[in-house]
Amino acid sequence: MSQPRSNDSDPREPARPRIRPGGFRELGPVGWAVNRLGARVTGSRDVHLFATLGHARRLFPAWLAYSGMMMPFGVLDRRTTELVILRVAHLRGSVYERAHHERIGARVGLDDDEIARTLADPAAADWTDRLRAVLTAVDELVRTKDIADDTWAALAAHLDESELVGLVQLVAQYDGLATSLRALRIQPDRPR
């Protein structure tokens, strides 16, 4: 059986979205307004993620609020949050998620080297002990949907209980988002 073609896994492959990004009629006033605001902030014509997920009008506002509590209003500091998201995007091969958060990461102070290091095995990259523990936990969560006891112990030496819960939820959110992006074949946003 052949692999499904997905623009999110390989930007060179043309793939059609399974749900076309909607306009006002499909998204309703809330989804349409969020999409327009997001497009203005990101400098794109449309935020395809919002214009697609917004088709589920009842779910979209709740998802948006929950997502906002993960990023930018999450428990972890903004730099750590973006490093986590970039690592998840890399592990999942999510071109959309990766490109979006490279821009956001730079805006919150990540330099090009830090962004690039999220592509490397955390044990081999030059991270602080705290970030190595965090990114190792990200790898385990994405790959196995669990965290080994020794990794948890290393993580707990650097994060409090609120941050530990927040990290697990953040990884689960962005791993799930990568799944949605791939399954719905959401296309990269186009600049204005």
Does 78 or 3 have the greater pLDDT score? 78
Q: What is the pLDDT of residue 1?
A: 43
**C-alpha torsion sign, points 138, 140, 146, 150:** negative
Judged on CB neighbours under 10 Å (0-12, 13-18, 19+), 191 is exposed
Whole-number Å distance between alpha carbons of 93 and 112: 19
DSSP sequence for 133-180: HHHHHHHHHHHHSS--HHHHHHHHTTS-HHHHHHHHHHHHHHHHHHHH
Q: What is the pLDDT of residue 101?
A: 94
Q: What percent of the chain has pLDDT over 90?
A: 86
Cis preceding linkage at 29, omega within 30: no
Q: What is the pLDDT of residue 9?
A: 47
165-191 mean pLDDT: 95
Q: What is the pLDDT of residue 156?
A: 98
Residues 125-174 have pLDDT tens digits of 999 999 999 999 999 999 999 999 999 999 999 999 999 999 999 999 99
What average pLDDT does the structure give for the chain?
92
Q: Per-residue confidence at 2, pLDDT binned at 50, 70, 90?
A: very low
Q: What is the pLDDT of residue 14?
A: 52
Whole-number Å distance between alpha carbons of 59 and 176: 15
Residue 45 Cα distances to 13, 53, 61, 76, 178, angstroms: 21, 16, 21, 31, 21
134 touches 83 (CB < 8 A): yes
111 touches 89 (CB < 8 A): no
Q: What is the pLDDT of residue 3?
A: 43
138 touches 87 (CB < 8 A): yes
Please state which of the ranges 53-57, 69-73, 90-94 shows the lowest mean pLDDT: 69-73
Tell me: pLDDT of 10 over 60.
no
Residues 20-57 have pLDDT tens digits of 999 999 999 999 999 999 999 888 899 999 999 999 99
What are the φ and ψ backbone dihedral angles of 80, each rounded to 5 degrees? -65, -45
Identify the three-state secondary structure at position 85: helix
Cis preceding linkage at 17, omega within 30: no
56-77 mean pLDDT: 95
